[in-house]
Amino acid sequence: MSDVRQVPLATPTDGGTWRSPADRPLRLDSGAVLAPLEMAYRTYGTLNADKSNAVLICHALTGDQYVASTHPVTGKPGWWTTVVGAGLPLDPERYFIICPNVIGGCMGSTGPASPDPTTGKPYGLAFPMITIADMVRAQAMLVASFGIETLFSVVGTSMGGMQVLQWAADYPERLFSAIVVAAAARHSAQNIAFHEVGRQAIMADPDWRGGAYELEGVRPEKGLAVARMAAHITYLSETALQRKFGRELQRDGLSWGFDADFQVESYLRHQGASFVDRFDANSYLYITRALDYFDLAASHGGVLANAFLRARNVRFCVLSFSSDWLYATAESRDIVRALNAAGCRASFAEITTDKGHDAIFLEEPNLDSALRGFLASAAEKRGLA
Amino acid sequence: MSDVRQVPLATPTDGGTWRSPADRPLRLDSGAVLAPLEMAYRTYGTLNADKSNAVLICHALTGDQYVASTHPVTGKPGWWTTVVGAGLPLDPERYFIICPNVIGGCMGSTGPASPDPTTGKPYGLAFPMITIADMVRAQAMLVASFGIETLFSVVGTSMGGMQVLQWAADYPERLFSAIVVAAAARHSAQNIAFHEVGRQAIMADPDWRGGAYELEGVRPEKGLAVARMAAHITYLSETALQRKFGRELQRDGLSWGFDADFQVESYLRHQGASFVDRFDANSYLYITRALDYFDLAASHGGVLANAFLRARNVRFCVLSFSSDWLYATAESRDIVRALNAAGCRASFAEITTDKGHDAIFLEEPNLDSALRGFLASAAEKRGLA
Most B CBs within 10 Å: which of A130, A187, A190, as the mutation test of the B interface?
A190
pLDDT value at position A25?
A: 93
Q: What is the rounded average pLDDT of the residues A305-309?
A: 98
B14, pLDDT greater than 80: yes
Using one digit for the tens of pLDDT, what is the confidence trace for A79-92? 999 999 999 999 99
* B19 annotated ligand-binding residue: no
Using one digit for the tens of pLDDT, what is the confidence trace for A165-217? 999 999 999 999 999 999 999 999 999 999 999 999 999 999 999 999 999 99
Domain ranges of chain A: 2-187+295-381, 190-290
CA angle B26, B32, B33 (to 5 degrees): 30
Q: What is the rounded average pLDDT of the residues A62-73?
A: 96
**A264 to chain B nearest CA, in Å?**
6
- Please give the single-letter amino acid code of residue B184: A
B8, pLDDT greater than 80: no
B342, pLDDT greater than 80: yes
Q: pLDDT-derived band of residue B35, with 50, 70 and 90 as boundaries?
A: very high
Chain A hits for B129, Cβ within 8 Å: 256-257
Q: Which residues is A55 bridged to in the sheet? A: A97, A153
d(Cα A317, Cα B313) in Å, to the nearest integer?
Answer: 59
Q: What is the rounded average pLDDT of the residues A255-281?
A: 96
Q: Which residues is A58 bridged to in the sheet? A: A156
Using one digit for the tens of pLDDT, what is the confidence trace for B212-225? 999 999 999 999 99
Identify the active-site residue in B69, B158, B299, B320: B158
CATH number of A190-290: 1.10.1740.110
d(Cα A79, Cα A84) in Å, to the nearest integer?
Answer: 9
Cβ pair B30:A256 closer than 8 A: yes
A347, pLDDT greater than 50: yes
- ipTM value, please give it: 0.93
B5, pLDDT greater than 80: no
Q: pLDDT-derived band of residue A8, with 50, 70 and 90 as boundaries?
A: very low
Cβ pair B30:A206 closer than 8 A: no
Candidate CATH numbers 3.30.310.160, 3.40.50.1820, 3.10.20.310, 3.40.50.300; the one for domain A2-187+295-381: 3.40.50.1820
Q: pLDDT-derived band of residue B385, with 50, 70 and 90 as boundaries?
A: confident
Most A CBs within 10 Å: which of B196, B209, B267, B269, as the mutation test of the A interface?
B196
Using one digit for the tens of pLDDT, what is the confidence trace for B299-317? 999 999 999 999 999 999 9
Q: pLDDT-derived band of residue A2, with 50, 70 and 90 as boundaries?
A: very low
pLDDT value at position A9?
A: 38
| Whether CATH 1.10.287.130 fits B2-188+294-381 | no
Q: How many CB pairs under 8 A join A and B?
A: 149
Cβ pair A200:B247 closer than 8 A: no
Cβ pair A200:B225 closer than 8 A: yes
Q: pLDDT-derived band of residue A22, with 50, 70 and 90 as boundaries?
A: confident
CA-nearest of A61, A288, A66 to A159 is A61
pLDDT value at position A183?
A: 98
Whether B59 is a known active-site residue: answer no
Using one digit for the tens of pLDDT, what is the confidence trace for B233-273? 999 999 999 999 999 999 999 999 999 999 999 999 999 99
With H, G, I as helix, E, B as strand and everything else as coil, classify residue A24.
coil
Q: What is the rounded average pLDDT of the residues B109-137?
A: 97
DSSP letters spanning B9-67:
PPP--SEEEEE--TT-PEEPTTS-EE-S-EEEEEEES---TTS--EEEEE--TT--S-S
A45, pLDDT greater than 90: yes
The pairing of beta strand A15-19 with beta strand A33-34:
unpaired
Q: What is the rounded average pLDDT of the residues A140-152?
A: 97
Nearest CA in chain B to A30: B256
User: How many whole angstroms from its chain centre is CA A116?
Assistant: 24
Nearest CA in chain A to B284: A258
Q: What is the rounded average pLDDT of the residues B119-146?
A: 97
Chain B hits for A293, Cβ within 8 Å: 254, 261
CA dihedral (A203, A159, A169, A134) positive or negative = positive
pLDDT value at position B382?
A: 97
